[in-house]
Amino acid sequence: MFLHCLIYELKTCLRAKDLIIWLLLFPIVLGTLFKVAFGSLYEKNTLFRTIPAAVVEQSAESMLRTAADAVSEGENPLLSVTYTDEATALEMLEQKEIKGILYAGDTVTLTVGGSGIQESMLRAFAEQYNRYESVIRSTAQQNPQKLPQVMAALSGEVSASSRISLTEGNPDPFIQYFYNLIAMVAMFGAVTGLHIVSDYQANMSALGARRCCSPVRRAVSLSAAMTGSCLAQSVCMITCVSFLAFLLRIDFGSRLPLVYAAAILGGWTGVAIGFCIGAATRFSSNVKTGITMVFSMACCFLSGLMIGNIKAVIAEKAPWFNQINPVAVISDSFYCLNLYSDYRRFCVKILTMLIMTVVCTVIGIILSGRKQYASI
Amino acid sequence: MNNPVVKIENLVKRYGDLVALDHFSLEIREGEIFGLLGPNGSGKTTTINCLLSLLSYDKGDIAVFGQKMTPSSYDIKKEIGVIMQNVAVFDELNVYENIDYFCGLYIRDKAQRRQYVDEAVQFVGLEDFLKFRPKKLSGGLLRRLNIACGIAHKPKLIILDEPTVAVDPQSRNRILEGIQTLNRNGATVIYTSHYMEEVEQICTRIAIMDKGRKIAEGTKDELKRMIRNTETVTIEVLELDEAVRAEIAALPHVYETVFDGKTLTVCCSGGKHNLIRILGVLQAHAVSFGRVYSELPTLNDVFLEITGTALRDKEE
Amino acid sequence: MQVFKTYLKILKKHLHVASIYVIAFLLTGFAMTFMDDSASLFEQTRLKICVLDLDNTPESRALCDLISKQHDIREMPADEDAMLDALYYERINYALTIGKGYAEKLAAGETDGLFENRFLHDSYSTAYMEQFLNEYVCTVRAYLAGGAASADAAAQACASFETETAVRVVKSGPENTSDMSLAAALFFRYLPYLFISVLMNVLCPVLHAVNKKDIRFRTDCSGVRPLRYTAAIFGGTGVFVAGIWVIFVAAAIPMNGGLYHGTAWIAVLNSLVFTLFSASVTLLVSGFDPPSNLVNMITQMISLGMCFICGVFVDQNMLGENVLAAARFLPAYWYIRVNRMMEGSDAFDGALALRAIAIEAAFAAVLALLTVLVRKSRSRSASA
């Protein structure tokens, strides 16, 4: 009987093309737009790239050239320096070809075009130069015999800090928009879940009434419907992840199969939530759809779909909320898979989704259990 | 053999202040085609929904096949076939799949199910439309599909709630004949309608409902015997003196005469040769008349006499 | 007039659903405004740094003090997972650990491996801090080489970092000449998303009721001319949309710290024109009569897609040239251009603002025209 119901549930699901098409189209369109918008942001704005600067030599005695050349060498150096006259330098600054102009006079002064981290780094370089120069000058005056040691101390190669890499995953913070996009698609499964309720309740539809008259146990027919919806949702999730991973080449880290698993489970959670909302509320289907949509959009918003760092703010102020916000849980599971090498946190997220799915389904089945209606 | 298939006792259902069913009782015996007749809003569908345990009710007992009917009486539900007032089929499934789906909810065995579905298709005459989606079907065909979905599993009790609404006469006759065939094959049928002609045509026993109460119950003839009227004579007359009308009214068995300027309606109660006597009076006064009808009482007359309003007046 | 009145009556029946969306998106708008610090995210010069001092000597504390003067120290639990989260979401920019034995090694002239850096990626912040730490160590080493004692060298080094270089800023970016408070301007920035979301979600079910095939056929049979009918629908929608617009614009008044004045009215006009655009989008989409459970999906596709491309959620400065070039063909881009003047991100330019608003209005008009055409063509088609 379960199988019979399931087969027909799938048939109707697949033939009601609208929903499936939109569920498939949605991540494809938004994913492409996200890719277009965020594709180069990480490299452009976050990752360090050599800072272009100009040096204007105003004093022949300045050693700035030595110092500047020293930091312009090697792979991915701090600066790339152009030596030029003031007028050209200002013109370059105007054209945003360089970030700042270093004037090599008695001391080094700096002219910049704005205030950002690159400008701050130029400033730090200038200060360093001035500092070193004053140290050398004062040593030369007070302790000339120590000058060679001091010079050596200042110029030697130093790597004071050793890097301890926290992750082998993809550290691009803009990926989280794609995580949230997948989570949103998963939450749209709620629409399918909502559908189940109206199809099986006598007071919501004529079909529901006819089904109520049949001798099939409610739990059997409802779980068949749930299974059908979850399967259909799984197809959507698989397409969504495949599109993002293979066509848009979003780097989800090295464990793509688990990304699929998490996405599919997330989709089921979405279906179960919709089912639960539908069963628990007593409104017209328009209002039910409204509530479901507002709920899922609020969850998406609080998970950082629109503004990326909201989740981090919540993690600081009310960390428990991120543990129960289904969208945050789903998108965090991708995050954990990407950044953490061990599976502990990922398992916690997966377990949370499982619990949510089961709890929502059970509540839904209980609430929409065999019952009589006050009016049809 | 005459066990009650359905027994409803003192059923009360309220929608807020509105009393939809007021201490309604009913007994339906095996093998009957039981007609539930009443104008729109009289409580027919509410009765059916309560009977099917879809609706909660305020008071009363409902037993089907001798057992109390509850939402989880799966064994009882297995034996019931329901055809709702609203067409309840999947738009996404074609004719065959729709019937197969609903039949499959009752019949587990695949081979048997296939046979039953084929029989149901033949029964409603949809052989040529198996691959059609419901949206492509005309109103009458859609109703037939709706019926096929309800009866494919060969239930012992078939409940039809106004199955012929918005159906052309041809399809309607086919449906009515089908119901009689089902009945001959052993099914008990409950049939609700506000079309008296249909109920008169097929039902073996009838209950008339009005405002949530049962106002009469019995076979067709029993019902008609309950009322005074046995014959209504209608005559087209162009002119009629008050004296002549009075003379007709004074004839034996005549209890009411109405003249509206064009037709004379005479209601008779019992007696024979009423028509001849009336025509005799007209002839005696040399009144010329046109068409003449003599009608036996209909259920409408029954309804009219009991409630004081005609059934048709309440139709939408 | 009859159509108009009836349409308003139907709208009234949907007010409860409408209020769900209006309240929800209004709250979202507030939350966005108050949680937003993305504007300063890439403009920072003070880094957020978490320091774990395992050495805890006068020398290491001196370094901590120095760092805290230039940057913001954030308290963090000594947990790598927490640090990873914080680095990823940019709650901190650098996670520094001062190793045990820092002071001793430094006194002995050892410089390598004094610090540990919990590392996520090669960001500017990482480069900046590594540069700083190397410099600091070099300076201390130089003072030591000059004959200073260990603690003195650290103190001298710290003191030498206090000297400032003369910095001249050529262009400091525009001065905030707008008459609108930053909070209100930020709220206005999110209005494109909010308006499209609210209007589509609220109006589509209502229009669905009006566009029902049977009702449309019946109306077509009546004496009402199609154009008049469409005009009545537009009019009714206009009344409703105006109501929602007033609610949102009024809600921003407290954030503005008083009624709008001066150039702030341009922002108000901007939002009104964009509302008209949102309404035309809604009418156009509803012309295709999407099923109710898909409305929100379509809405989010349009609103989120447009808002991300046009710089509603991510600053326009951060988006690539190509993206912005494409975004010019979307009205939200022009809306944001005007709003950036209100935020103080761009210099105020009245002529440009008016041109941008005119472009938005043109979009609205074109879509309205399209809507009329779609309605006309669909009213004849047998399907739908």
Q: Give percent of chain B with pLDDT exceeding 70.
A: 97
What pLDDT, on the 0 to 100 scale, is given for residue B316?
35
pLDDT, position C43: 46
Find chain A residues with C-beta within 8 A of B54's C-beta.
202, 209, 212-213, 372-373, 376
Q: Do the beta carbons of residue A233 and residue A192 sit within 8 Å?
A: yes
Q: Which helix (H) or strand (E) holds A223?
A: helix A218-242
For residue A184, give every residue at least 6 positions away whose Cβ sits within 8 Å of its Cβ, in sequence order, or none.
A296, A300, A305, A327, C300
Residues B290-315: what's their mean pLDDT?
72
Residue A182 confidence (pLDDT): 95
Question: Model confidence over B99-140: pLDDT tens digits?
Answer: 998 888 888 888 999 999 999 999 888 999 999 999 888 888
Which of C83, C168, C323 minimises the CB distance to A166? Answer: C83
| Mean pLDDT across chain C | 82
Looking at 3.30.930.10, 3.40.190.10, 3.40.640.10, 3.20.20.140, the CATH number of the domain A49-155 comes to: 3.40.190.10
Report how far residue A72's alpha carbon sits from residue B35's, in angstroms, rounded to the nearest whole number.
99
The answer to whether residues A203 and A376 touch, using CB atoms and an 8 Å cutoff, is yes
Average pLDDT over residues C93-120: 83
CB atoms within 10 A of CB C1: 8
Considering CB atoms only, which of A159, A165, A172 is closest to C134?
Answer: A159
CA B231 to chain CA centroid, Å, is: 23
Beta bridge partners of A165: C119
| Residues in a beta bridge with C72 | C48
The fold of the B4-225 domain, in CATH, is Rossmann fold (3.40.50)
Tell me how far apart the alpha carbons of residues A144 and A124 are, in angstroms, rounded to a whole number.
27
pLDDT in tens, C79-103: 888 888 888 887 888 888 888 888 8
The confidence score (pLDDT) of residue A368 equals 78
A95 touches chain C (CB under 8 A): no
Q: B19 at the A interface (CB within 8 A)?
A: no
Are β-strands B254-259 and B67-68 bridged in parallel, bridged antiparallel, or unpaired? unpaired
- Per-residue confidence (pLDDT) for residue C277, from 0 to 100: 94
CA pair distance B258, C342, nearest whole angstrom: 86
Return the pLDDT at A228.
92
Residue A239 and residue A186: Cα distance in Å, rounded? Answer: 12
CB contact under 8 A, B105 and A1: yes
Residue contacts between A and B (CB atoms, under 8 Å): 89
pLDDT given at position C36? 60
Q: CB distance A310–C133 less than 8 Å?
A: no
What pLDDT is stored for residue B1 in this prediction?
47
pLDDT, tens digit, 9 for 90 and up, residues B37-65? 888 888 888 999 899 888 888 899 999 99
- The subunits that touch chain C, with at least 3 C-beta pairs less than 8 Å apart, are A
Q: Are B147 and B163 spatial neighbours (Cβ–Cβ below 8 Å)? A: yes
Residues B254-282: what's their mean pLDDT? 86
Option in A26, A131, A166 nearest C118 (CB):
A166
Chain A residues in contact with C330 (beta carbon < 8 A): none
Tokens of B245: 């009308």
pLDDT in tens, B282-298: 888 888 888 998 888 88
Task: Identify the pLDDT of residue C381.
Answer: 59
- Do residues C113 and C98 touch, judged by C-beta distance below 8 A? no
CA distances, C11 to each of C190, C294, C295 (Å): 26, 20, 17
Residue whose C-alpha is closest to residue A99's, from A118, A86, A83, A81: A118
| A121 CB burial (10 A radius; 0-12, 13-18, 19+) | buried
State both tokens at C3.
Answer: 């159509």
| Residues of chain C above pLDDT 70, percent | 93
Partner chains of B (3+ C-beta pairs under 8 Å):
A
Beta bridge partners of B265: B234, B258
Q: Torsion over CA of B105, B106, B109 and B113, rounded to 10 degrees?
A: -90
C220 CB neighbour count, 10 Å cutoff:
12
- pLDDT computed for residue C181 by the predictor: 80
Instruction: Assess C197–A contact: CB distance below 8 Å, yes or no.
Output: yes
Domain at B231-296, CATH from 3.30.70.100, 3.40.190.10, 3.30.2010.10, 3.40.50.280: 3.30.70.100
Listed by start position, the domains of chain B span: 4-225, 231-296
- Using a CB-CB distance cutoff of 8 angstroms, which residues of chain A are in contact with residue C36? 307
- Judged against a pLDDT cut of 80, whether residue C172 lies above it is answered with no
The ipTM, to two decimals, is 0.84
Q: Strand ranges (DSSP E) for B156-230?
A: 157-161, 188-193, 205-210, 213-218
Q: Which residue of C has its CA nearest to A26?
A: C301
Q: Letter for the amino acid at A278?
A: G
Torsion of CA B165, B166, B169, B172, to 10 degrees: -40
Amino acid identity of C125?
Answer: S
Q: What digits encode the pLDDT tens for the residues B21-41?
A: 999 999 999 999 999 988 888
CA of A293: which chain C residue's CA is closest? C296
Mention every residue, 6+ apart, whose C-beta is less than 8 A from residue B253.
Answer: B268, B269, B270, B271, B274
Look-up of token digits 């499209």: C196
Chains C, A in contact, 3 or more Cβ pairs below 8 Å: yes
Minimal C-alpha gap between B240 and chain A (Å): 54
Separation between Cα atoms, residue A316 and residue B222, nearest integer Å: 83
Nearest Cα to Cα of residue A259 among A275, A279, A238: A238
CA A14 to chain centre: 31
Cβ separation C297–A191 shorter than 8 A: yes
Is the confidence at residue C40, as pLDDT, over 50? Answer: no
Report CA A155 to chain centroid distance, whole Å. Answer: 42
Mean pLDDT of the B91-103 span: 89
Q: At A49, which amino acid appears?
A: R
C105: which 2 tokens?
């090694």
Q: Does residue C297 have a pLDDT over 70?
A: yes
Amino acid, single-letter form, for residue C310: C
Q: Do C166 and A195 touch (CB under 8 A)?
A: no
Taking an 8 Å cut-off on Cβ atoms, the answer to whether A30 and C168 are in contact is no
Nearest by CB to A286, which of C128, C173, C205? Answer: C205
State the pLDDT at residue A144: 81
Which residue in B74, B72, B10 sits closest to B47, CA to CA?
B10
Sign for the pseudo-dihedral over CA of A139, A144, A150, A154: positive
Q: Nearest CA of chain C to the CA of A110: how many Å?
A: 5
Q: Residue C175 has what pLDDT?
A: 54
Interface check for B250 against chain A (CB to CB < 8 A): the answer is: no
Q: Do A312 and C161 touch (CB under 8 A)?
A: no
Using a CB–CB cutoff of 8 Å, tell me whether B289 touches chain A. Answer: no
Task: Say which residues have a Cβ less than 8 Å from residue C95's Cβ, sequence separation at least 6.
Answer: C49, C50, C52, C76, C83, C86, C87, C117, C118
Please check whether residue C21 is in contact with residue C63, taking contact to mean a CB–CB distance below 8 angstroms.
Answer: no
Q: Is C83 at the interface with chain A, CB within 8 A?
A: yes
- Alpha-carbon distance of C254 to C269, in angstroms, equals 18
Q: Within chain A, which residues score under 70 in pLDDT?
A: 60-61, 369-371, 376
Residue of C nearest to A122 (CA): C128
Whole-angstrom distance, CA of residue A254 vs CA of residue C64 = 38
Q: Is C45-160 a CATH 3.40.1280 domain? A: no
- Nearest chain A residue (CA) to B89: A207
Q: Which residues contact B293 (CB under 8 A, 6 or more apart)?
A: B233, B234, B235
User: Do chains C and B meet with 3 or more Cβ pairs nearer than 8 Å?
Assistant: no
Summary count for chain B: helices (H), strands (E): 11, 14
Is the pLDDT confidence value at C266 over 50?
yes
The full length of chain C comes to 384
Contact call for residues A294 and A169 (beta carbons, < 8 A)? no
Best of B11, B17, B49 to substitute, by most chain A Cβ atoms within 10 angstroms, is B49
Best of A2, A214, A370, A371 to substitute, by most chain B Cβ atoms within 10 angstroms, is A214
Q: Yes or no: say if A186 and A270 are a contact pair by the CB < 8 Å rule.
A: yes
Compare CB distances from B93 to A12, A216, A217 and report the shortest one's residue: A12
Q: What is the pLDDT of residue C38?
A: 45
Q: Is the pLDDT of residue C176 over 70?
A: no
Residue of C216 and C97 predicted with greater confidence: C97
- 254-283 in chain C: CB under 8 A from chain A: none
* Tally of CB atoms within 10 A around B23: 14
- A218 → chain B, closest CA residue: B72
How many other C-beta atoms can be found within 10 angstroms of the C-beta atom of residue A290? Answer: 26
Asked whether B54 and B45 are in contact (CB, 8 A), the reply is no
